[in-house]
Structure 1
Amino acid sequence: MILRKQHSVLIQGITGRQGRFWSAKMQEYGTRIVGGVNPKQAGETCCDVPVFASAREAADELGGIDLSVMFIPPVSARDAAIDAIEAGVRQLVVLTEHIPAQDVMRIHAAARHHGTRIVGPNTAGIVTPGEAFAGIMPAFNRRVFMPGDIGVISRSGSLGTLICLNLVNAGFGQSAFLGIGGDPMLGTTTVEALRALQADERTRAIVIVGEIGGAMEEEAADALREVGKPVVSFIAGRASPPGKKMGHAGAIVMGDQGSYRSKRERLETGGAQVVDTPGQIADALRQALARA
């Protein structure tokens, strides 16, 4: 799940305004982009890489793809995702928001069948500071991302950026940033991201940036005992009223399930230190690392 500089990356929608802009940023940072997809411009080049009619054609020509990033509108997202999955892409970063629910279910079913890791939908992407990034996170901003040993998991790209900024200001760098996305049906859960960082030798401690809605933070709390690394968490939405959606489509609370109180209590019971504000994360990390 953690992106490395040697991984081959395909950009679906590379010739669009956003696809072209972010592809150039990824390349400048060190991401190994090997090709792009746009059926209408197949046979051309964009960002100095070949453009193919499909992900399947790209994989056949290039000999396999480690990761694909989707700059694809919601109406076309299902077909683009299944194209990449059936082409054997190992990991798919789905940036697209507002994909119809039935299409998301089709994507996840195809991914399970073919063994593809989905990150998203509605993710800002993943970053390995000093190596590579895939998506729309400002990895190139040294005030936000710096190589280090703190792994960060976030459902929110903007909130994750703030947390990473605070970490760098406090002298901490990141081993990896895993933006799992804000959709109600995510391909990668908090606990799966937690286990990826648990297995990562470069990660010394982990920050979980959660929010109200769903049960992913509670499920991750149950896995904390086996992690063996300090975990600090911030949960957004403490003051939100029950039953009201706040921001992400997945951030809706019904009764106590998915509530701030439930998430905080479960994480603390599991051994994580939960802070009240993002600005407290760095101090909490220092304390947790001192105890480790």
Structure 2
Amino acid sequence: MAVFLTEADRVIVQGMTGSEGMKHTQRMLDSGTNIVGGVNPRKAGTSVHFEVNGYGHRHDRGLVESGEVDIPVFGTVAEAKEATGATVSVVFVPPAFAKGAVMEAIDADLELVVVITEGIPVADSVAFVQHALDKGVRLIGPNCPGIISPGLSNVGITPADITGAGGIGLVSKSGTLTYQMMYELSDIGFTTCIGIGGDPVVGTTHIDALKAFEEDPDTRVIVLIGEIGGDAEERAAEYIAGHVTKPVIGYVAGFTAPEGKTMGHAGAIVSGSSGTAEAKKEALEKVGVKVGRTPSQTAELARATFLEIN
């Protein structure tokens, strides 16, 4: 099984005709994602031709290992949904236009909206995250690598060839650390890997992912990657204490970050003792989470825990 994304999902790409949208649509197709349309008001009624290689394109006709496919472009998300039965949208729209694109996807009542775009103003993110909550739409991002259920579907920019299906569930603020953890634990594999993004406001939280992995029968071990800044990891620790029975392995990026300096993601800033990697590590360990001090050590802890219970 997988959480939030399966092979049954029908995906549209907002911004598919742009350079980033084209590049990653190709990669998603090659990894088996069932992409059924793109959205661009200026190019409605056209189509984009792709040569499909790699893992194959999972389309209505079944899994096509290789070949050619023409993806239609629609003027609006609502039109795309009506024509294709789309359930998921992935957003590759520039920051200035991202809010409108995300709002449009939410208003079309899709089940899942994945926002890859970075640099979106926080006020815009607050508006569409709240709108998604009000409408009951699952939103992942912004400023994230997306979500992948290996062997089933890949929505976003995560490399699909670095791991396979298995019994670990991964939720991470960091894109690059998501990829590293997937690679280092490729001998075991993953049910789903969720990159929630590192901005101060995101649609899906560590807690949302923990709840989903706890309920998923195929997820045996959960890996949680956080980073300095904010209190998301401390809140996750509180949730784990009361609601999670499966083993959780953690890592917090930023042990060497200097106080008061923004590091990488917009949300990663430390002030005094609040939001430090050490404080987050202590909060997680207090509720039984094993926390590595490096990504590789974290992977080893996850592997040992998985092998111990299987």
Q: TM-score, normalised by structure 2?
A: 0.89
CA distance in 1, matches of 2:82, 2:42: 19
2:298 alignment partner in structure 1: 281
Contact 1:59–1:88 (Cα < 8 Å) also in 2 = no
Of 225, 236, 245, 1:220 maps to 236
One-letter code aligned to 1:121: P
One-letter code aligned to 1:12: Q
Alignment of 1:152-191 (within 5 A): 152-168=170-186, 171-191=187-207
Shift of 1:216: 1.0
- Segments of structure 1 that go 5 or more residues without pairing to the other structure are none
1:13 alignment partner in structure 2: 15
After superposition, the CA RMSD in angstroms is 1.4
One-letter code aligned to 1:188: T
3-state SS in 2 of match to 1:7: coil
1:93 alignment partner in structure 2: 114
Contact 1:246–1:252 (Cα < 8 Å) also in 2 = yes
CA distance in 1, matches of 2:214, 2:79: 35
* Structure 2 residue 298 is matched with structure 1 residue 265: no
Of 82, 98, 103, 1:82 maps to 103
Of 38, 45, 48, 1:46 maps to 48
Moved over 6 A (4+): none
One-letter code aligned to 2:82: D
1:241-283, Cα deviation, whole Å (9 max, x unpaired): 2211110001111222211121101100111100111111233
3-state SS in 1 of match to 2:128: helix
Shift of 1:91: 1.1
CA distance in 2, matches of 1:94, 1:160: 16
Which segment is superposed worse, 101-110 or 34-43?
A: 101-110
CA distance in 2, matches of 1:289, 1:68: 33
1:72 alignment partner in structure 2: 93
Shift of 1:290: 5.5
3-state SS in 2 of match to 1:223: helix
Shift of 1:175: 1.3
One-letter code aligned to 2:206: T
3-state SS in 1 of match to 2:222: strand
CA distance in 1, matches of 2:303, 2:145: 27
1:197 alignment partner in structure 2: 213
Report the CA distance shift for 1:128/1:39 in structure 2 as closer, same or farther (over 3 A).
same
1:123 alignment partner in structure 2: 144
1:3 alignment partner in structure 2: 5
CA distance in 2, matches of 1:286, 1:39: 47
One-letter code aligned to 2:188: F
Q: TM-score, normalised by structure 1?
A: 0.94
Which segment is superposed worse, 177-186 or 21-30?
A: 21-30
Question: Number of paired residues?
Answer: 286
1:140-190, Cα deviation, whole Å (9 max, x unpaired): x2xx2111111111111111111111112xx22111100001111011111
Shift of 1:129: 0.8
CA distance in 1, matches of 2:298, 2:274: 25
Shift of 1:62: 2.7
1:10-63, Cα deviation, whole Å (9 max, x unpaired): 100111111112112212211111111001100011241211111122123334
3-state SS in 2 of match to 1:23: helix
1:251 alignment partner in structure 2: 268
Of 240, 247, 251, 1:234 maps to 251
Contact 1:70–1:93 (Cα < 8 Å) also in 2 = yes
CA distance in 2, matches of 1:205, 1:50: 40
